Amino acid sequence: MILKRNYKQDEIISFIQHLPLTLEQFLLCSTLLQVPLTEMLLRRLNAIMIYLFTLIPIFISSKYYLPCPPIYSSILNTYDDDKFDLTCKYETHVRLIYYRTIQIFIQLLSASRIQLSCLKWYLDYLTMTNNRRKQTTDINDSFHSIKVLLKSLRFHKLPNIPDRILVYFRDFCIILFLLDTRDRLSLTLRNYIRNKTELTNPSDKLAWQIISYSTILLSFRCLISDEMNLLRIVLNLFFDLNPSEQLMRALATLIIARQHDDHDQDNNAEIIFIVNKLKAKWMQINPTYIRLYEGFLETIIMQDVQGDILQHYMNDT
């Protein structure tokens, strides 16, 4: 039903402009009736965006113009190389639905007067996660701007809000992150393929970026409609890179990222075949790499990040 309806950019922008007053009236009624309307609407909006993500291909059509503004920005991309290409029209259509849904979510937070509380909670969460990472790995402090923003928020008197709403806000941020990662993956892969076809040496940096983006997306494999296409492409990239400890860790992380709730024997057989070819190649170079890879498989621990998504939005009967 969501996909069948036609959306136009001008109509969506007009709808968003008139939305705040309508939302405030609905929320006032929900307060008088003691109905948790905000919580119900946030969950519903997240469910729509997650459902959409399961329908779109993980790789954006090669005829769709990239780079383009993020889906959540107010500047929508309506330019593509072929206006009559079905894949481009579908991508544009889905992006318009995403933009509309995202803006409703943001306006709902604003009308409920909880946007600053949600933002502060999430920034605190990111900062604590970053501090834990700094204790175990040597990384640069890329969260300086977030810490500055947090300091400014501490002077605001913020209301306490239900934990469930904070979870929905976190999931909303995850969805935006996955959409942005999908755009970056497609653009980086295009650049990598172009360098290869032009017989120039493709940058290892591009390959590593593709591996990083793919690992993130595979952590949410329950949402990916064409997981095997992604795996085939990223696993074959490992053949182009020189073996190293970093490469062994990256492959182990990639394999572990997709192992949660994995019961697909046919696809697993194909993955095992490709990994065994990689191991055979590395064995001829230095058997130590195989021991490193197997050691990382036993020691790397990854959180089941898709578990909450399954529980909150995809297990409804």
pLDDT of residue 317: 34
pLDDT of residue 90: 87
pLDDT grade for 49, boundaries at 50, 70 and 90: very high
List all residues 6 or more positions away from 115 whose beta carbon is below 8 Å from its beta carbon: 106, 109
DSSP single-letter state for residue 80: B
Is it the case that residue 2 has pLDDT exceeding 60? no
pLDDT tens digits, 101-156? 998 999 888 888 888 888 888 887 777 776 766 655 555 555 566 666 666 666 66
Neighbours of 217 (CB within 10 A): 22
Rg (CA), the chain: 22
Strand partners of residue 80: 64
Is it the case that residue 53 has pLDDT exceeding 90? yes
Q: What integer best gives the mean pLDDT of the chain?
A: 81
**H/E run at residue 275:** helix 265-285
pLDDT tens digits, 155-172? 666 667 888 888 899 999
Pick left, alpha or beta for residue 242 (phi over 0 → left; psi -120 to 50 → alpha; otherwise beta): beta
Are 48 and 175 contacting, i.e. CB atoms less than 8 angstroms apart?
Answer: no
Backbone angles phi, psi at 64, to 5 degrees: -85, 130
Are 76 and 95 contacting, i.e. CB atoms less than 8 angstroms apart?
Answer: yes
Regarding predicted confidence, which is higher, 6 or 285? 285
pLDDT of residue 168: 92
Query: Percentage of residues in the chain with pLDDT exceeding 70?
Result: 76
Regarding predicted confidence, which is higher, 9 or 239? 239
Q: What CA–CA distance (Å, rounded) separates 224 from 306?
A: 11
